Structure 1
């Protein structure tokens, strides 16, 4: 009986290499060309993407990235590298590699890195707590494309999601309690998840249910009343209907109705990024305060918090001892 050597591939969406229009355009072109993300027929979509969306959107998005850029890269890259390094420290006998669906380091480079270390079984952990065809399935598709070129492929264990995982919920609850202790308990805790087109859910994507699962378990763990928690969806793009209620419209409505103190958590993001640090922590804060709200705090993503790394260890541990 031969003992296999197992490695871990942690995956996330990706980020531009620099906060410049050229780098952002390159990144967005790859991201928005994936049919798992935008399934509009290519004959219609590509001329619109390349002729209108990228030239207009890239400079605007680059300015937003400039406002949050960190030493070492974008926040998503900095925190993802911290996660990779912390997981490797906790599992010193297990190779760990980071791969992004778009941009660098690519999923292909992560697979090659693991194979070069003699790995013959890969545990793939997409850091999307709630499954969606636009995120987790995109990792699956790219992994299949990479391995289709190999004569000898490794064994694969693929962690679909962890929306109601006990350690994940406990880490979220700990983060929320820490915010309450610092800023006081809010009138409302808003849980803002990244949106997807409503059509994707109608066609079978169970993402909305997995978001509800996370919300239910977190409310239970916090022991707070259901009427003090609300679930919304952010970052919509394009003209077709997306999952509702929308985060921005909800914040404006709540402020106008007299809600004074809100704290916002984004449980669908394993690492802080443009959508949390700029859209939620800046744009939506201004929206709420301008509409009459008085206190607004963003609760950071779990990033490389010890409880988050412990969750990753516990999620992958059952797959690390294989023999054949």
Structure 2
């Protein structure tokens, strides 16, 4: 009997290849053309995208990327995902399990990594999007790319797709421990604000569970930390366009809190496995300015789990419980 050869693919969103306008434009064109991301009639959206978005937004986005870009390593999302993947791979290598990473947009591309697994004789494929909460705009987009590539193969591998891990106990504990560690380093602020990436509100009505999963994660985390309702808030960030998105909006809450007597906040983004433009620039920098301008006097961003040992353990636990067979588990 031939032994199984397992390949694990960790997938994240992606980043521009370089901090330049052309690279950012290519990335945004790829990202925003995905029907899962913007679900408008293609002819209409093509006109909007090419007439009103791509001529202007890349330059603005570039200025944000420059603030967080590492001159040696590049985009934080890219190198942190790679470093996390390498550490998970090191843990699983003794069992002969191969681990690699890919991006939904940009490089390394999902089809490229799947073909590499195929060439290496992988018989069983486990795909884990690095999004703790499932969304049709992120996790489902990974699934689309997976199926699109596999539909061209004559010999399909066995595969498992792990759609989310928003209630995973080790994930919740790791987040709580990181927050408690931050409170040990500096005084705890008045309120803990949990900020998740926003989505159009209409997606929830269509059956997307993201909104509910974010709230489940928030409740579990607050319970783990022993927080009272008055000691934490859950918000949604990164609104794009004029349509109604998931509420409450992060910026609105940060503007309102000082008026309610909240002078300091700790910010965390539980929906991001690793830090990226949204967390390091929008939350840690831009929204800090908004809160202080509104009257706050203390603002601290608690970084994502990134490539920490705790996050490696989270990924291994998710893979063990959702991806591997009982006879070949991660240890």
Band of TM-score, shorter chain: over 0.9
* 1:229-262 Cα distance to aligned partner (Å, 9 max, x none): 1000000101100000000111011023221110
CA contact (8 A) 1:190 1:265 kept: yes
1:84 aligns to what? 85
* 1:198-226 Cα distance to aligned partner (Å, 9 max, x none): 00111110101100110111011111212
The answer to whether 1:254 aligns with 2:244 is: no
- What are the within-5 Å matches in structure 2 for residues 104-253 of structure 1? 104-253=107-256
CA positional deviation for 1:277? 0.3
Q: What SS class does the counterpart of residue 87 from structure 1 fall into?
A: helix
Q: Which runs of 5+ in 2 are unaligned?
A: none
1:36 aligns to what? 36
Distance in 1 (CA, whole Å) between partners of 2:65 and 2:175 is: 26
CA contact (8 A) 1:96 1:114 kept: no
2:324 aligns to what? 320
Output the TM-score relative to the length of structure 2.
0.95
CA positional deviation for 1:11? 0.4
CA contact (8 A) 1:95 1:117 kept: no
Distance in 2 (CA, whole Å) between partners of 1:89 and 1:97 is: 11
Q: Which runs of 5+ in 1 are unaligned?
A: none
Distance in 2 (CA, whole Å) between partners of 1:103 and 1:199 is: 28
State how many pairs are aligned: 323
CA positional deviation for 1:317? 2.2
CA RMSD of aligned residues (A): 1.1
Q: What SS class does the counterpart of residue 96 from structure 1 fall into?
A: strand
Distance in 1 (CA, whole Å) between partners of 2:228 and 2:32 is: 39
* 1:25-68 Cα distance to aligned partner (Å, 9 max, x none): 00000000000000010110001101210111001101110111
Distance in 2 (CA, whole Å) between partners of 1:321 and 1:163 is: 21
* 1:172-203 Cα distance to aligned partner (Å, 9 max, x none): 00111011111212110000000000001111
1:280 aligns to what? 283
Distance in 2 (CA, whole Å) between partners of 1:230 and 1:142 is: 35
CA contact (8 A) 1:97 1:113 kept: no
2:76 aligns to what? 75
Q: What SS class does the counterpart of residue 103 from structure 1 fall into?
A: coil
Distance in 1 (CA, whole Å) between partners of 2:222 and 2:52 is: 43
* 1:119-177 Cα distance to aligned partner (Å, 9 max, x none): 11111010000000000000011100010111111111111100010010011001110
CA positional deviation for 1:3? 2.4
Where has structure 1 moved over 3 Å in runs of 4 or more? 318-323
CA contact (8 A) 1:69 1:75 kept: yes
* 1:268-309 Cα distance to aligned partner (Å, 9 max, x none): 011100000000000000000111101100000110110110
